[in-house]
């Protein structure tokens, strides 16, 4: 039996929700006005309980049992049935989904808090409900009333599950090259129904035993469609055909041909699916032909933010394990008092450095996601059109950062957690090595991190002629100008100011490279630009939190638990700026080399 190590506490979650974010603004929107801050605090407590009592206990067993494949069927870990039941029965899975179809209608920011908790408790399991509701949101947005009536409630309540089917054996990052075909099916008597034929690969939760049906959202090319991504259409392809009255019909000629053996998320089956091998697979076209890619991108963008949340959840759980271990494990004396008594390792300087790196890193990621989701809520519900537009632009700008930076950062932070535990960190009794294995996938799926970097420099940077980026940068620079003489954070403001300059310089240089036809320099430095941009954005937010916490610290007893928490927030802000943000400058120096040595060597040299 695995051990349940889930120990997330509520403090930083509630700080973000009720102290840091402008929650009253969200609660003023008609969509959210039935909720209160107290509701969210209570839900946070309840979700932590679900993490502790339902999801956490299955984490290690799920990893060890994994999923099993036999004759087209996939068996999931034993604990998953109960997790599935609880997540749907209590509305958690469809927390941010439309109440009209069984969802709870919570704001995105609250969805982020739940994701942080649930992914941190059991990421592999959470892929099942995550894909199901994400899929449902797309049917909601692009389906007909009939589609919505047919699919949504059953998906939001867990009777049916969902997937997204993009990747094929020869089309991964290059999704425009998919070969799966769709042909109108004249026998169906419905022009939206097509015959589907093709093979999909790396389909997360593509087949399993948690729900009576699996609704696939599949990308395919209608015969005669334009080449590339502009010829892709989106289809709803149920594993078992759904009759017009909602009852289950015949199996829909969708067959799982195998699952992958992977580094981690063993409890989440990564399936190869064959559609229409016997010519009997049908799919329902969602929206107009050849408009599938843009539609899928809506789910994809949602899933990319989801990746950032998963990365946060895992890193935060790794921090939980590391801090608990460090406060219990006794080893030697610290260097600064080397002839003193043996102490718990939380007193050893390098362990502290790693712990505060984990602490400040997870808090910075949490702040970043909270801000992004807040903007998403504003974009969806603010009464002012201009506010909505501005917020949406920022969401689009920052989404690749949250996806790529968080996933890489989490992998590095979890590495530190392993090191805090030493040899025990490498052993499977503790969960940190599993977090490392589970976390690695987040940098790959929903568009690898390099695809994110290309999205950033190729599309997002140039939005509105660069104005969206300039708006972001202006906020950061205005913030540093306002606080540059701050008695506690002046050095941090200076670093942030310089980092903002470096990020701005990156952007200007990229523009220049495009103009001068020195195209290769842009992708060569795109990932590093993304990292610098993300660290600068996060430093801005964690300094906002630091200022806020310092003010609150003055109002509480320093030795109280609130006092310790606020002092910890102040330290997190300083540590992040002085130890993580400083990486910007090494990368910026690398950019100044304008180095293309990687392109210059002959292929035969590899």
* Active-site residue flag, 446: yes
Q: Is residue 258 near a second copy by the rule CB under 8 A?
A: no
Using CB under 8 A as the binding rule, the residues of this chain from 139 to 178 that contact a second copy are 167, 170-174, 176-177
Q: Which two tokens stand for residue 371?
A: 């801000």
Quick check: 60 and 3 in contact, CB under 8 A?
yes
Please name the helix (run of DSSP H) or strand (run of DSSP E) that holds residue 575, with its range, or none: helix 561-575
Q: Is residue 183 near a second copy by the rule CB under 8 A?
A: no
Q: Is residue 411 near a second copy by the rule CB under 8 A?
A: yes
Binder among 91, 361, 443, 500 for a second copy (CB under 8 A):
443
Q: Is residue 124 near a second copy by the rule CB under 8 A?
A: no
Work out the burial of residue 288: count CB atoms within 10 Å of its CB; fewer than 13 is exposed, 13-18 middle, 19 or more buried: exposed
Q: Is residue 449 near a second copy by the rule CB under 8 A?
A: yes
Q: Is residue 501 near a second copy by the rule CB under 8 A?
A: no
Place of tokens 């004396």: 333
Which of the residues 168, 433, 446, 535 is marked catalytic?
A: 446
Using CB under 8 A as the binding rule, the residues of this chain from 370 to 409 that contact a second copy are none
Place of tokens 């329902």: 284
Q: Is residue 512 near a second copy by the rule CB under 8 A?
A: no
Closest CA to 409 of 312, 495, 542, 321: 312
Question: For a second copy, which is the closer residue by CB, 205 or 372?
Answer: 205
Q: Is residue 297 near a second copy by the rule CB under 8 A?
A: no
DSSP 168: B
Please provide the distance, in angstroms rounded to a whole number, between the alpha carbons at the two ends of the chain: 46
Q: Which two tokens stand for residue 247?
A: 């009852």
DSSP 457: I
Binder among 356, 379, 417, 456 for a second copy (CB under 8 A):
356
Task: Compose the 455-484 pattern: x for residues touching a second copy by CB under 8 A, - for all others.
Answer: ---x--------------------------
Q: Is residue 238 near a second copy by the rule CB under 8 A?
A: no
Q: Is residue 14 near a second copy by the rule CB under 8 A?
A: no
Closest CA to 69 of 238, 246, 258: 258
Using CB under 8 A as the binding rule, the residues of this chain from 547 to 586 that contact a second copy are 561, 563-565, 567-568, 570-571, 574-575, 578-579, 582-586
- Please state, in angstroms and as integers, the Cα–Cα distance from residue 438 to each residue in 60, 304, 305, following that order: 11, 16, 17
Question: For a second copy, which is the closer residue by CB, 141 or 199?
Answer: 199
Q: Is residue 597 near a second copy by the rule CB under 8 A?
A: yes
- Count how many residues are written for the chain: 606
Binder among 80, 101, 194, 202 for a second copy (CB under 8 A):
202
Binder among 192, 323, 366, 540 for a second copy (CB under 8 A):
323
Q: Is residue 272 near a second copy by the rule CB under 8 A?
A: no
Question: For a second copy, which is the closer residue by CB, 255 or 576?
Answer: 576
Tell me how many degrees the CA angle 497-500-502 measures, rounded to the nearest 5. 110
Binder among 19, 260, 471, 505 for a second copy (CB under 8 A):
260
- Least distance CB 497 / a second copy (angstroms): 14
Q: Is residue 601 near a second copy by the rule CB under 8 A?
A: yes
* Phi/psi-derived region of residue 463, left when phi > 0, alpha when psi is between -120 and 50, beta in every other case: beta
Question: For a second copy, which is the closer residue by CB, 276 or 568?
Answer: 568
Question: For a second copy, which is the closer residue by CB, 32 or 533?
Answer: 533
Q: At what angle do helices 385-421 and 292-328 cross, to 10 degrees?
A: 40
- Please state, in angstroms and as integers, the Cα–Cα distance from residue 145 to each residue in 21, 31, 149, 150, 296, following that order: 36, 21, 6, 9, 19
Binder among 429, 464, 478, 482 for a second copy (CB under 8 A):
429
| Euclidean distance between CA atoms 522 and 457, whole angstroms | 8
Query: How many residues of this chain bind a second copy (CB under 8 A)?
Result: 103
Residues with active-site annotation = 446
């Amino acid at each position: 039996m695995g051990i349940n190590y889930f120990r997330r506490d509520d403090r930083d979650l509630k700080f973000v929700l009720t102290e840091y974010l402008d929650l009253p603004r969200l609660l003023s929107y008609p969509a959210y006005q039935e909720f209160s801050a107290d509701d969210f605090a209570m839900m946070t407590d309840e979700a932590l309980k679900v993490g502790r009592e339902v999801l956490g206990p299955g984490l290690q067993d799920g990893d060890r049992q994994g999923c099993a494949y036999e004759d087209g069927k996939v068996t999931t870990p034993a604990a998953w049935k109960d997790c599935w039941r609880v997540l749907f029965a209590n509305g958690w899975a469809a927390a941010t989904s439309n109440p009209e179809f069984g969802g709870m209608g919570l704001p995105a920011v609250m969805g982020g808090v739940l994701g942080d908790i649930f992914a941190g408790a059991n990421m592999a399991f959470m892929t099942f409900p995550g894909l199901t509701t994400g899929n449902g949101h797309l049917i909601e947005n692009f389906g007909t009333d009939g589609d919505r009536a047919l699919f949504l409630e059953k998906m939001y309540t867990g009777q049916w599950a969902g997937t997204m089917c993009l990747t094929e054996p020869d089309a991964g990052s290059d999704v425009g090259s998919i070969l799966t075909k769709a042909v109108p099916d004249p026998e169906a008597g419905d022009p939206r129904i097509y015959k589907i034929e093709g093979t999909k690969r790396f389909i997360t939760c593509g087949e399993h035993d948690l729900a009576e049906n699996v609704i696939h959202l599949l990308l395919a090319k209608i015969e005669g469609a334009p080449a590339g991504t502009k010829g892709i259409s989106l289809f709803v392809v149920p594993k078992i055909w759904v009759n017009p009255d909602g009852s289950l019909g015949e199996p829909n000629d969708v067959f799982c041909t195998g699952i992958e053996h992977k580094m981690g998320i063993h409890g989440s089956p990564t399936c190869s699916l064959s559609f229409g091998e016997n010519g009997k697979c049908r799919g329902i076209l969602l929206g107009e032909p050849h408009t599938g890619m843009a539609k899928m991108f809506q789910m994809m963008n949602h899933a990319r933010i989801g990746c950032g949340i998963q990365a946060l959840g895992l890193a935060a759980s790794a921090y939980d394990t590391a801090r608990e271990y460090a406060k219990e494990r006794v080893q030697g004396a610290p260097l600064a008092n080397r002839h003193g008594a043996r102490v718990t390792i939380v007193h050893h300087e390098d362990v502290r450095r790693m712990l505060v790196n984990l602490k400040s890193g997870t808090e910075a990621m949490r702040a970043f996601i909270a801000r992004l989701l807040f903007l998403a809520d504003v974009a969806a519900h603010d009464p002012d059109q201009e506010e909505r537009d501005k917020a949406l632009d920022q969401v689009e700008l920052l989404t690749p950062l949250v996806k790529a930076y968080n996933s890489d950062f989490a992998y590095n932070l979890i590495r530190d957690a392993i090191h805090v535990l030493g040899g025990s960190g490498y052993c499977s009794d503790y969960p940190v090595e599993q977090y490392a294995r589970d976390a690695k996938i987040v940098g790959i799926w929903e568009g690898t991190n390099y695809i994110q970097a290309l999205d950033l420099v190729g599309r997002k940077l140039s939005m509105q002629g660069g104005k969206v980026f300039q708006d972001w940068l202006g906020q950061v620079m205005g913030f540093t100008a306002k606080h540059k003489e701050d008695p506690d954070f002046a050095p941090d403001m200076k670093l942030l100011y310089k980092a903002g300059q470096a990020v701005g310089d990156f952007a200007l240089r990229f523009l220049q490279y495009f103009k001068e036809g020195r195209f290769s320099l842009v992708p060569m430095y795109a990932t590093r630009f993304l990292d610098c941009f993300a660290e600068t954005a996060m430093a801005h937010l964690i300094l906002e939190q630091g200022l806020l916490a310092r003010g609150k610290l003055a109002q509480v007893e320093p030795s109280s638990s609130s006092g310790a928490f606020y002092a910890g927030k102040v330290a997190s802000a300083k540590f992040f700026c002085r130890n993580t943000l400083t990486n910007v400058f090494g990368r910026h120096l690398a950019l100044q080399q304008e180095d293309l040595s990687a392109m210059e060597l002959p292929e035969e040299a590899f």
